[in-house]
Structure 1
Amino acid sequence: MRTNLFYILFVMLFAMNEISVAQDLDSIQPTKPTETIIDSLLSPDLSPKIVQDTTQAKKQMLVDIVKSYAKDYKHMDRRNNKMTLYNEAKIEYEDMVITAGHIIMDTEKNEVTAKGIKDSTGYTQKPVFKQTNDEVEPDSLRYNFDTGRAIIYNSRTEQGGFKVKGQVSKRENDSVFYVKNAKFTTADDIDDADYFFKASKVKFVPGKKIVTGLVQMHVVDIPTPLALPFGYFPLSDKASSGFVLPSFGDNRQRGFFLMNGGYYFALSDYADLSVLGDYYTNGSWATRIDSDYRVRYKYNGTLSFRYENLLLEERGFPNFSEQTIFNLRWSHQQDPKANPSSRLSASVNLGSSNFYQQSVNQANQGNFMNNTLNSSVSWNKTFETGPGMNLNISATHNQNTNTEEINMTLPTLQFSVNRMFPFAPKSGPKRGAIHNINLQYNLRGENRIQTTDEEFLRPEMFNDLNAGMRHSIPINTNFKVLKHFNVALNANYDETWVMRTFEQGFDPNEQQVVRDTINGFDSYRTYSMSTSVGTTVYGMFDFGDESKFKAIRHVVRPTLGFSVNPGFDQFYDQFTREGLGATPDQIVEYSRFEGTLFGAPNKNFASNLNFGITNDIEAKVNKRDSTLTGDDRFKKVKLLNNFGVSSSYNFAADSLHLSPIALRGNIPVVTDKFDINLIAALDPYALDNNNRRIDKWNIDNGGSLFRLTNANISFGYSLSDKIFSKDDQEEEEEDDALSNESFRSGGRKDDLFGDGQMMNDPRSQKNQEPKEDENEYYNYKIPWSLNLAYTMSYTNTARQNEISSHSIMFSGNVEISPNWKVGISSGYDLVNRGFTFTQLRFNRDLGSFNFSLNWTPIGPRENWFFFIGMKANMLKDIKYDRRREPDRQLR
């Protein structure tokens, strides 16, 4: 990690080039008599002793024109070889510029002296020295451009994010500087800083090293115990490797600890690596490896690995337990312009199912409430030759943290040939069913693994490896009938390859079904056909221009389809399950492809009539603005969006021909901001006494026409003070996928489930940027935001007739002053009658410091975390934090 604490000491590096003064300038008389008001530049006790060489100095040759300016006068004293510039004086030579109220150039000693002008208010027009990008603002300065020595009083400059003030600075030569009583800070005002560091003696070698005496931190001019007796710090223009000092504290279950200590490796200009670790006195330990990499215009990403060996209590105690957990995250993004035909992307989050519940180094509340981990790594290649082809190779991972079940594909191969129209004309549009005939070729191959946390990354996880491949050729065409009806015809051919099958039989001795694995290649082929017809119907209701609703438009899209799926019973076998006693024998049919990657082919013939209808209703509303004319007087508002009803009827089924009727819809309440989503299912069939569906209409069984078997209503809405602002403008959302800790771990971007952060990790603390355009009447407009999420589910598949889930969640933030921000995340479960996860957040901007307190007052994750630390990135290690961890029970 770059050593930033004393990096600012090279403010004395203002790279003074040798300056020569023209000797042949004509004297310029002042335009009017002026009293001598120029004091001696330096007080006697501070005057430097610049030793002059007694030998004859060789005159310096100028390589550029020396330009000098002054507002009141510019005077050349030939007897003393001095030139005086007064009031807004300025000297320019090559890339060096000196401005001051009063400048004296001694051509005999080859010295330049600059200071301000003394008046009733003090000194004004203090010197400013500029060279390239460096700028120094001292009270006064002297510089000898023969020896290269200089002395500067009360210099002020900014370097590396620090503002620096040195009482006396001495430039010995081009490579050595000495500074006395240096003060440096990241505060805006160095003369009235809320904190600063003070060093009595400093030796600075540009580009190589800094050697200091005592360095002590002051807060509001009060010395603190934070001090170093001496320091040696190497300097580099590039990122440097270095040690990371750990945080210390105590944990009630594991004892004292050192946390987040380690080493930072600056690998190159494109990548870095940090290796950090924790240690607890009861024997628990953890390690973390993080790396960021970026190659501009090509790719960027992050890689993180965490491993923790956790011990609860001490060995030998009855409640002692031990557990190891880990987590791996990798995010990789490729610039689309790097290679348009080839793209690699990755989003990996895998590890122990209970990592986010048991980890001691983070309070990632959003991921604690997430019960799935997902990963995907894919490489896609497009071939433009011929009809066009696409190749995709990917590996996926899905993990349920509750059941600890893991599903992986290592890898999945997909290959496709773009759609081809063999009968299309060489020129002109495609018309009719023949011209629109098209076909494709798709190939999908997988190696699927199903395992658990216990067997993950062990040889046992590959015992049930399931591999297969499927070839698919879809053939489609479409055309119009009677100008308004769109007809589509589809046929599909599939061929499936597998590497193993399963034979089944009955063991009369064990009285159980025996399943044997047959390794070797096997395959089956299937096909299906379907057709559909649809149209769009428009209805308009006009109420007149003076009505609130000028018109309402209703758009109806009915569809009707028919599909045939043959039965492939040739791939089915049977065995006899012998009965015991009076129990008769039973014939059991099975397919040797059951349990394979793509499953067994369909056995039963199906002939389905599919039907559905969708509705959209929108209104044209009068704006009631007399200044508008024509269509500008009205605006469109959606009243109902994509409300649909669908079902199917199977003619070939023995019973229960009609499928449940599916309902779905969306009700826009606030255009593009607040929608209510509805999903429901209606079953026309009745239930028997065992709550099983029977082939009898529900209305004939004494019930209603349909049974509402399940339903769900949900919505989410975000509010803020900007919604009610007349000059509300949408702001561009920044892509924080790589910086948001919760989102990178599979959680949410917002704080609806709480704000997650790494414990004792300064990188997790968010800087609060100063607000612009603030006025003294700040409370007239208080920034605030509110996120709402509501969901309710109803279940009645087996006469439960209950609301299975019903909850509302919310999170809000309000800035009660320019520097105070408070927030809350909570919710209420209306079924179980209790509050859901609740988190309170307090943040205070203390100028150069950040203060935050996160408190979870109730629930199994009850904890708090207090932090106060520096805002500047180079001083993130200067902090104080305390916490109370949530109770954890290792398994």
Structure 2
Amino acid sequence: MQLLDSARIDTIVPTKAFAGSTADFVMSADSLTAPVTYAAEDSMTVDFVLQEIHLYGAAEVTYQTINLKANHIILNYGTNLVYAEPLPDSLGRPAGAPEFSDGGQSFTAREMRYNFKTRKGIVYGTTTTQDDIFVRGGKSKFVSGAVQVNDTVRADVIYTQGAIFTTCSAEHPHFGIRTQRAKVIPNRLAVIGPSNLEIMGVPTPLWLPFGFFPLKSGRSTGLLFPSDYQYSPQWGYGLQGVGWFFPIGEHVNLQATADYFLRGTYSLNTNLRYVRRYKYTGSFNASFKNLRREDRELNEFFDKGISIQWSHRQDRAAHPTFNFGGSLNFQTNIVDQRFINSFEVASQNTIRSSMNLTKNFPKLKSTLTAGLNHSQNNQSRIITVNFPDATFQTQTIYPLRELPGKQSAWWKKLSFRYKNALRTEFEAPDSTFFTQATLDAGEYGFRHDINSALSLNVLKYFNVSPSINYGEVYYGKTRAYNLDGNVQRDTLIDPITGEEVITITSLGEIISSLNPGVASFRTFSAAVNVSTQLFGKVRFRKKGLLGLQGLRHVMKPNVSIGYNPNYIDAEDYISGEPYFLREDEIDPLNGDPTRLLSPFANQIFGAPSPGKRNLGLSYSITNLFEAKIWNAKDSTSQNIKLFENIGISGSYDFTLDSLKWSPVNLTGGTQFFKGLTRVNIGATFDPYATQYDPVRNQFRRVEISNLSEGRFPLSLTRFESSITTNLTVSKIRQLFQGAEEEVVTDIEEERRKRREEETTLFEETDLLSLFERFSIQHTFRFRFQREFDTEAPDVDDRGRPRFSQLANSIELRGALQLTNNWSVNIGQIGYDFTSRRITYPFLSFVRDLHCWEMRFSWAPQRNFYSFSIAVKPGTLDFINLPVNQNRYDGGQLFDNR
């Protein structure tokens, strides 16, 4: 055998300390058609007698598309055989196990022999990994390129004995499906013979006659194993989440699953997800549920319902002027609240949907929005759908701005805006929503408004803004009023003649109905608004008094004079429909002539205001109070808001004969303890007295001022306040330690650094880091309201204040990592001090068992609990042991129907 000049060999030699190629040696006639390159980091020896090259330390051998890596490789360039194995490290443990790859296919092994000529080999301890599946085999036969995939690609095959399929990453898996014979095509498919479930190396009596595991990466059609199996006394044995996965094209995945219980309860579910990069993403979920339940007398009931969710989001870069997106959430028979036990779903009183498209017209400076809006009340079971629901509106347009002249000219500040809306509304209980009656009862309306305004600066400090508003509303139906025909009569005896006299005391109740017919009404208003700002400051010397360096008060008064015409006697010039009808016109016997009824009442856009011609003045004063505090910690001054907003508002009507002044409203809010606590207040003060009216048999405001009775000019009629405290670890740190305090952000990493072994309890250096994911909210609402004695009314009664507690509750949510493997999750737990009851506690405890997970969930108010020991989510997560009680089994047990 002769050594050749390596300078004449056109091969790429790996950049390692020891490298070469079999082309450096004179080969026999039956040698390989291409050279084999080799390299090693530690050392290399050549045995010319045995024709072997020994490579040590990160050794690597490459032949065409085949690559082999290991810590020790023996390459026989005479027989074309290669042997690979690991070598002991400094602690005596095997390191550098063989890694074999052929094109895009790869696996690892404990030891292997391979013939480059025949492309076959013997492998010991193979490990093939695809996604979360580990295939660990004993002695195996390896054949390279044995299976024809397509015209240009062939796949390798491993025939193995004693293989185990598992998602456990441990060298000795904690569980798996053990089979004596298996055929594995790496990265594609594994076919197994008779096999059984093995846990902790102990075989179980659970056997499978045969099976297959898809190992192909990417999307492929396949069976979805059940995610859970359960037993319920009412439902029987059942499987959950069994189905099929369908990839549809390049951008869409479809998943169809079913939950089935032997005694008749089942659900059919579809989940469709789609995505197109830089275009849109979305998902569509639909399910039909059929629930069988029993009461304590074993009476059988069936509850059926559908649930639909659609979410679509368009990418911002998809189109500059067009956007479509939103979410739909629809269900019948409140099926989600019946089947799902999470706090968020169980406590959801209203379901809302909004799916809209928006089109901007830059040249027209306008926007069109159209879509569907839906709301569903889970208490009243009423569904309201607005479709189509469209709005077209312009931006604020200044039509005279382009005229010649100074830009500060007043006419260039003249602006107008236009807006119209088209809306259709359908409303009905969920049990009858999809019927013809719902379509017949639909309401239709169109509205458009024009607003024109002008902003002027007067006397340098005052902003004067006159404005005019005009609107029109068109309805496809009008409300007709009539009597129900329930006439009531009384029989009286004439005291003189003694004859019976029949007297009609009531013509019936007034009822209304919507009848088809186009009608419209118009509204007009004009106003002049004047506003300004006033500033007040108080400063203290140096560091001030107890750190208080100064106070600042900003007051923003606003006065508006507005005019509204009289609509009481107006009528629609199109249909001749009057805007209002007096009640005595419908019920001449008992009708109130002062009460007005409108044909446009209780429709989509409402009805015109029933007031007479109005010329009024409204006022408001907004106040902001701030303080400058000296911070001794960093020697700086800070501005703190004492009261963020204290507002006073009211009005005066020049056209009224009495009670011209309206009640005065006070609103405000602020926060304390660096945002931990938020306080909101609202109060109403009345300049007039409230007195008993014997004629109407009620207490009402009268033209008697509080000042004329020697009392304070404004009397408090109502005071309401809410105090909300949101407590989190980050806010506690900010309050007591400052925002710059270093916190533990990665609790898991901190635990790993500080424990000596896996079972050692972690000692927290920062106790608060345990509660990083906790939040506590306390809400307290109360009201002082003036009440009157309605049982024994007195003209001189001016009322007395009564305190009422509207709400007082505390809620806790979060997760607590007790140890590295134990965690407690509190979905929600709270206590309502007003009703004296616990508010829907939902707790769960989780124990991490490496590749398994033990979980216990409990919702006592729904009589629900669930306990399971299951494989962690993945391909084999159908292996689990569940024990649970659904809300219906618990309801039957505790008579909670």
Structure 1 length-normalised TM = 0.81
- The structure 1 residue matched to 2:184, chosen from 204, 223, 234, is 204
**Cα distance change, pair 161–276 in 1 and its aligned pair in 2 (3 A):** closer
Aligned to 2:780: 791
Aligned to 2:151: none
Aligned partners of 1:249, 1:669: CA distance in 2, in Å?
Answer: 50
Aligned to 1:720: 729
Matched position secondary structure for 1:796: strand
- The structure 2 residue matched to 1:610, chosen from 615, 618, 641, is 618
Q: Deviations over 1:427-461 (max 9, x none)?
A: 89842531110112111111112222232111111
- The structure 2 residue matched to 1:538, chosen from 535, 539, 559, is 535
- Is 1:477 matched up with 2:477? no
Aligned partners of 1:711, 1:552: CA distance in 2, in Å?
Answer: 27
Matched position secondary structure for 2:252: coil
Aligned to 1:367: 345
- Taking the TM superposition and a 5 Å limit, the aligned residue runs for 1:65-464 are 66-69=37-40, 71-77=42-48, 79-87=49-57, 89-92=59-62, 97-117=67-87, 122=92, 124-129=94-99, 131=101, 136-156=107-127, 158-175=129-146, 176-191=157-172, 193-206=173-186, 209-234=189-214, 236-237=216-217, 238-245=219-226, 247-313=228-294, 319-352=299-332, 354-359=334-339, 362-385=340-363, 387-425=364-402, 430-464=407-441
Aligned to 1:35: none
Matched position secondary structure for 1:780: coil
* Number of equivalent positions: 797
832-841 vs 157-166, greater mean Cα deviation: 157-166
**Cα distance change, pair 653–468 in 1 and its aligned pair in 2 (3 A):** same
Matched position secondary structure for 1:242: strand
Code of the aligned partner of 2:641: K
Aligned to 1:745: none
Q: Deviations over 1:68-89 (max 9, x none)?
A: 3353343251x44332334554
Q: Deviations over 1:443-487 (max 9, x none)?
A: 111111222223211111122211111111100111211212222
Do 1:790 and 1:807's aligned partners in 2 also have CA atoms closer than 8 Å? Answer: yes
Q: Deviations over 1:749-781 (max 9, x none)?
A: xxxxxxxxxxxxxxxxxxx98877642253333
**Cα distance change, pair 671–336 in 1 and its aligned pair in 2 (3 A):** farther
Matched position secondary structure for 2:437: helix
* CA drift at 1:113: 1.6
- The structure 2 residue matched to 1:620, chosen from 628, 631, 636, is 628
Aligned to 2:816: 814
**Cα distance change, pair 405–700 in 1 and its aligned pair in 2 (3 A):** farther
Structure 2 length-normalised TM = 0.80
- Is 1:648 matched up with 2:651? yes
**Cα distance change, pair 157–683 in 1 and its aligned pair in 2 (3 A):** farther
Aligned partners of 1:173, 1:133: CA distance in 2, in Å?
Answer: 12
Report % sequence identity: 25
Aligned to 1:687: 690
Do 1:246 and 1:262's aligned partners in 2 also have CA atoms closer than 8 Å? Answer: no
Code of the aligned partner of 1:295: R
**Cα distance change, pair 70–837 in 1 and its aligned pair in 2 (3 A):** closer
* CA drift at 1:197: 4.0
Q: Deviations over 1:241-288 (max 9, x none)?
A: 325437443323344444443333333442223333334444333322
**Cα distance change, pair 173–99 in 1 and its aligned pair in 2 (3 A):** closer
- Is 1:780 matched up with 2:789? no
Matched position secondary structure for 1:546: coil
* CA drift at 1:198: 3.1
- The structure 2 residue matched to 1:601, chosen from 586, 596, 608, is 608
Aligned partners of 1:422, 1:582: CA distance in 2, in Å?
Answer: 57
Aligned partners of 1:551, 1:879: CA distance in 2, in Å?
Answer: 67
Do 1:20 and 1:60's aligned partners in 2 also have CA atoms closer than 8 Å? Answer: no
Aligned partners of 1:522, 1:507: CA distance in 2, in Å?
Answer: 24
**Cα distance change, pair 324–98 in 1 and its aligned pair in 2 (3 A):** closer
Aligned partners of 2:227, 2:128: CA distance in 1, in Å?
Answer: 32
**Cα distance change, pair 807–302 in 1 and its aligned pair in 2 (3 A):** farther
Do 1:407 and 1:448's aligned partners in 2 also have CA atoms closer than 8 Å? Answer: yes
CA RMSD of aligned residues (A): 3.7
Aligned partners of 2:652, 2:408: CA distance in 1, in Å?
Answer: 33
Do 1:506 and 1:575's aligned partners in 2 also have CA atoms closer than 8 Å? Answer: no
**Cα distance change, pair 188–656 in 1 and its aligned pair in 2 (3 A):** farther
227-236 vs 298-307, greater mean Cα deviation: 227-236
Aligned partners of 2:831, 2:482: CA distance in 1, in Å?
Answer: 53
Aligned to 2:715: 706
Do 2:722 and 2:781's aligned partners in 1 also have CA atoms closer than 8 Å? Answer: yes
Q: Deviations over 1:547-597 (max 9, x none)?
A: 423333222222111211112231236578489999799687544433443
Aligned partners of 2:22, 2:750: CA distance in 1, in Å?
Answer: 50
Aligned to 2:149: none
Matched position secondary structure for 1:109: coil
Aligned partners of 1:190, 1:393: CA distance in 2, in Å?
Answer: 59
Do 2:645 and 2:669's aligned partners in 1 also have CA atoms closer than 8 Å? Answer: yes
Aligned partners of 2:379, 2:429: CA distance in 1, in Å?
Answer: 11
- The structure 2 residue matched to 1:62, chosen from 34, 42, 55, is 34
Matched position secondary structure for 2:264: coil
Aligned to 2:522: 525
Aligned partners of 1:155, 1:290: CA distance in 2, in Å?
Answer: 37
**Cα distance change, pair 579–788 in 1 and its aligned pair in 2 (3 A):** closer
Greater relative contact order structure (CA < 8 Å, 6+ sep): 1
* CA drift at 1:846: 2.0
Aligned partners of 1:839, 1:654: CA distance in 2, in Å?
Answer: 60
Do 1:536 and 1:556's aligned partners in 2 also have CA atoms closer than 8 Å? Answer: yes
**Cα distance change, pair 521–821 in 1 and its aligned pair in 2 (3 A):** same
Matched position secondary structure for 1:174: strand
Code of the aligned partner of 1:372: T
Do 2:558 and 2:619's aligned partners in 1 also have CA atoms closer than 8 Å? Answer: yes
